[in-house]
Structure 1
Amino acid sequence: MAGERPKRRIAAILAADIVGYSRLMEQDESGTLATLKARRRSLLDPLVAHYQGRIFKVVGDGVLIEFASAVNAVQCAVDLQQGMAAANSDVSQDRQIVLRVGINLGDIMVEGADLYGEAVNIAARLEGIAEPGSILLSGTAYDHIKNKIKAGFDDLGPQSLKNITEPVRTYRVAALATDVAAPKAASEKPSIAVLPFTNMSGDPEQQYFSDGITEDIITELARFHSLLVIARNSSFQYRDKAIDVKRVGRELGARYIVEGSVRKIGSRIRITAQLVDAATGSHLWAEHYDRELQDIFAIQDEVVTTIIGRMVGQVETAGIGLLRRKRTENLAAYDYLLHGIECMSRYDIVGLEQALLMFRNAIALDPDFAQAYAKLSMVLVNDYWARAYGMLGAGTLRDEAIEAGKKAVALDSSDAQCHQALAHAYLCRRSFDLADYHLGMATRLNPNDSELVAHRAWFELCAGRPNEALAWLDQAVQLNPNPRTWYWELRGLALYHLRRYADALSAFERISSGPVYIDRFRAACHAQLGQLDEAHAIVAQALTRDPDFSLRQFALVEPYKSRADLDHMIDGMRKAGLPE
């Protein structure tokens, strides 16, 4: 009857979709469909029935399920993810079926067999920002299930979700034994994660120093080709948290864990370090060092030597001297370097300016400090990108970056970061051959640096090889299970240039509260999909954030090698309504 009020009830909604569905279908359509049918028949349907749920919608690569109980919804999701991981155990990584899951509890509207309302929308949006193999749930659902399920939960805080007015409190189910983000035997290399060393100095201002010691140990370990070393920002998410090494090992895909502490008092330093087998929790080695501060590099070398000896063998240990970087002997210069790295990690203009000052101070104290020149080059490039669209003469920052990078390589040609910095600066100038050479040198020197591998993906993208870019990104995520948001940006751009606009849009939408240029890329995807209303709405918002943007400036700044690729991106932006 007209005017009849819609039926409503409270329900827990589980939304799930398949990661990389389009890629899987493109590789093997019939095989993927057969696997999906088998997984649904043997895993999904029995679990939904067991937990008294109801599948009310299946769309392409996604499914929506209703439960009367939030506890049942979350427990079903946990069992589903673990079941999928078990089913993937004998499947090559590029053929695995991996899910993202979002769960919400709220008021829904009933129309026949279908369900509608914000409760459904929030579940779907949570699924959209979930990492592969993970489960996100809203604060409303969490309030109903906490202390009722044997699982840990990470509080991710309020998350801004697309087309949802208010931020949504979000939690992630922790310690899922899915191993999806981990490099599952794609390599026989032993995998290791170095957790942030605890600052025991009693002074929060000394945090940068213990972080710097940790990062140096990661860098030194990463130079060994026989190891798979987890990236810094993945391991640093465990700072100041109670650590269960077995759980950390599962989440990072690391067989071994290094943890320790740093205490600096005056001219003395105490470092403790231990190597733990994450599979068993057993301690393989532990040591503490009480030395003068000037011995800091010798301590780091001893820690690395011992770890390599325990994990790989004496042949690798004997090669440490050949791999060692040229370091400064000036401790004040080293201290400035660590301060600058901490400032860079803030990713804002103030942090960049402070980092520039710190690296210049380090160079003033030691004009032969290669790593300081490399970091100076990197921060100059970051400053260039922060200003390229709005400051006349920003190119001088890029040229300064090239000179700093050349100096770094001249001082230490065996350091991957020196080559990486110079390659990055050359790419900004569209010097593709030089960028390619130095990236090749860098990746040969340090194949375990996820940021370097991701920069290789950016180079391949700019050079007109989006498929190669995706392959490098897959390798970067293997090294960094908790990738930075710009990995999603690169993935979105590669997919855009492969004309996979819907997949590209999904990648860009993984970046919440992103910079304005992400909005421009999203608008281009919508425009290429013929969704002009959505494209125009995004452009209107983008122009309020950056009213001076023009397609002409974009063409001048972006380092595309192929004019056809540049025109393809501009075509999408033009259709979306961005100004000439």
Structure 2
Amino acid sequence: MSEKLTRKLTTILAADAAGFSQAMGADEVGTFAELNAAKDIFGKLITHHGGRIANTAGDGFIADFPSTVEATQCAIEAQRELGTRDGSLKFRIGVHLGDVIVDGDDLIGEGVNLAARLQSMAEPGGVLISQQVYDQVHSKLTIGFEYLGEKRPRNLAEDVAVYRIAMSKPGFSFHSKTKSAVPPREPARQEGDVSSAPSSLPLPQSVLFAALVAGALVLINLVTGGSIWAHWPILGVATITGLRCAPQIIPPQISAIIPPQTVVLVAALALINIFSWGGYPWALWPIGALVIVGLGRKILSQPE
């Protein structure tokens, strides 16, 4: 009779040094020292967030966490701390919540494979998470997410929804949200249905502040009488706020095609053209250039 497999549901964090072989070829001693320093940082943060290192292999490792939120925080804090250090060694990180097989201290199975594939698709210094992780953390962490669409990881049979954590989002914070009620359940996604992808976090405070400023400007314009002028400063405030919060306010099915900041700039140019209408749609030229550049950046940023 075969031995019964031991399984568990856990959050897997996969990390790997990008371009490690080339770096070793250029400076073996220095790169090895950088790798050990990075492993010390990861080890400290993994322990701090209640996880453990399960599998190790050369310049990469697999860790698992009982909490998806803690695993995501660990990934972000590790990238931020590594980013402050001198050195050329950068890490890619993937995080996935899934069922795995426990083999002593090691973890194996499809859940581990998917975390490793997400890691390989991430940019150096970046973090990619699966749909399962996003569902658990998007309402609990005040961070930005960018929906990258359905991707087919290498050697896997099905497409998976992939999210990038916005590491450079202004006002980045790790504080959990305090909610007394359970967040509303999102509708189930159908396979290949990008339009049903869940939205990001609720609108940030900067958007609400911009709305208050716009309302105040409208009231001032009405009270002072005369010509209508409030639309110009309102457009400026809206554009600045939109650029800061683009990953959260632009629908994921649009940002999967064109960078969200490009969408904001296109809208701003179109409104400027309308406000200053002189019979010629001059905004079509800069808008066309922005769209071409944005599409080009998206295509070049796709993993090979």
TM range (shorter): 0.5 to 0.7
Alignment CA distance shift 1:148-1:40 (3 Å): same
Q: Secondary structure at the match of 2:278?
A: strand
Task: Quote how far apart the aligned CAs of 1:107 are.
Answer: 0.8
Q: In structure 1, which of residues 165, 179, 194 is the aligned counterpart of residue 157 of structure 2? A: 165
Alignment CA distance shift 1:26-1:143 (3 Å): same
Q: Which residue pairs with 1:33 in the alignment?
A: 32
CA RMSD of superposed structures (Å): 3.7
Q: Which residue pairs with 2:114 in the alignment?
A: 122
- Whether contact under 8 Å (1:70, 1:144) holds in the other structure is yes
**Distance (whole Å) between structure 2 residues aligned to residue 99 and residue 177 of structure 1:** 19
Q: Secondary structure at the match of 1:293?
A: coil
Alignment CA distance shift 1:160-1:234 (3 Å): closer
**Distance (whole Å) between structure 1 residues aligned to residue 120 and residue 156 of structure 2:** 13
Task: Quote how far apart the aligned CAs of 1:125 are.
Answer: 0.6
Q: Secondary structure at the match of 1:77?
A: helix
Q: Which residue pairs with 1:17 in the alignment?
A: 16
Q: Which residue pairs with 1:74 in the alignment?
A: 72
Alignment CA distance shift 1:174-1:8 (3 Å): same
Q: Which residue pairs with 2:218 in the alignment?
A: none
Q: Which residue pairs with 1:261 in the alignment?
A: 269
**Distance (whole Å) between structure 2 residues aligned to residue 36 and residue 73 of structure 1:** 21
Q: Could you give the per-residue CA deviations for residues 202-253 of structure 1, whole angstroms, max 9, x where no partner exists?
A: xxxxxxxxxxxxxxxxxxxxxxxxxxxxxxx999511686x6xxxxxxxxxx
**Distance (whole Å) between structure 1 residues aligned to residue 150 and residue 39 of structure 2:** 33
Identify which of structures 1 and 2 has the higher relative contact order when contacts are C-alpha pairs closer than 8 Å and 6+ apart.
2
Task: Quote how far apart the aligned CAs of 1:61 are.
Answer: 2.2
Alignment CA distance shift 1:450-1:22 (3 Å): farther
Q: Could you give the per-residue CA deviations for residues 254-303 of structure 1, whole angstroms, max 9, x where no partner exists?
A: xxx9983225xxxxxx538xxxxxxxxxxxxxxx7443429x4xxx9xxx
Q: Could you give the per-residue CA deviations for residues 299-348 of structure 1, whole angstroms, max 9, x where no partner exists?
A: x9xxxxxxxxxxxxxxxxxxxxxxxxxxxxxxxxx98xx98x89x96xxx
Alignment CA distance shift 1:59-1:155 (3 Å): same
- Whether contact under 8 Å (2:126, 2:167) holds in the other structure is no
- Whether contact under 8 Å (1:13, 1:123) holds in the other structure is yes
Q: In the alignment, does 2:246 pair up with 1:238?
A: no
- Number of aligned residues: 220
Amino acid at match of 2:13: L
Amino acid at match of 1:10: L
Alignment CA distance shift 1:57-1:160 (3 Å): same
Q: Secondary structure at the match of 1:260?
A: helix
**Distance (whole Å) between structure 1 residues aligned to residue 17 and residue 31 of structure 2:** 11
Q: TM-score, normalised by structure 1?
A: 0.34
Q: Could you give the per-residue CA deviations for residues 332-383 of structure 1, whole angstroms, max 9, x where no partner exists?
A: xx98xx98x89x96xxxxxxxxxxxxxxxxxxxxxxxxxxxxxxxxxxxxxx
Q: Could you give the per-residue CA deviations for residues 471-510 of structure 1, whole angstroms, max 9, x where no partner exists?
A: xxxxxxxxx9x4634x88xxxxxxxxxxxxxxxxxxxxx3
Task: Quote how far apart the aligned CAs of 1:101 are.
Answer: 0.9
Task: Quote how far apart the aligned CAs of 1:96 are.
Answer: 2.0
Q: TM-score, normalised by structure 2?
A: 0.62
**Distance (whole Å) between structure 1 residues aligned to residue 167 and residue 267 of structure 2:** 19
**Distance (whole Å) between structure 1 residues aligned to residue 160 and residue 6 of structure 2:** 25
- Whether contact under 8 Å (2:10, 2:66) holds in the other structure is yes
- Whether contact under 8 Å (1:134, 1:176) holds in the other structure is no
Q: Which has the larger Rg?
A: 1
Mapping for residues 456-471 of structure 1, pairs under 5 Å: none
Q: Could you give the per-residue CA deviations for residues 484-542 of structure 1, whole angstroms, max 9, x where no partner exists?
A: 34x88xxxxxxxxxxxxxxxxxxxxx32xxxxxxxxxxxxxxxxxxxxxxxxxxxxxxx
- Whether contact under 8 Å (1:17, 1:100) holds in the other structure is yes
Alignment CA distance shift 1:176-1:450 (3 Å): closer
**Distance (whole Å) between structure 2 residues aligned to residue 450 and residue 73 of structure 1:** 32
Task: Quote how far apart the aligned CAs of 1:168 are.
Answer: 1.2
More helix by share: 1
**Distance (whole Å) between structure 2 residues aligned to residue 113 and residue 164 of structure 1:** 25
Alignment CA distance shift 1:234-1:71 (3 Å): closer
**Distance (whole Å) between structure 2 residues aligned to residue 70 and residue 237 of structure 1:** 27
Q: In the alignment, does 2:49 pair up with 1:51?
A: yes
- Whether contact under 8 Å (1:82, 1:177) holds in the other structure is no
- Whether contact under 8 Å (2:147, 2:162) holds in the other structure is yes
Mapping for residues 88-107 of structure 1, pairs under 5 Å: 91=86, 95-107=87-99
**Distance (whole Å) between structure 2 residues aligned to residue 67 and residue 138 of structure 1:** 15
Task: Quote how far apart the aligned CAs of 1:60 are.
Answer: 2.2
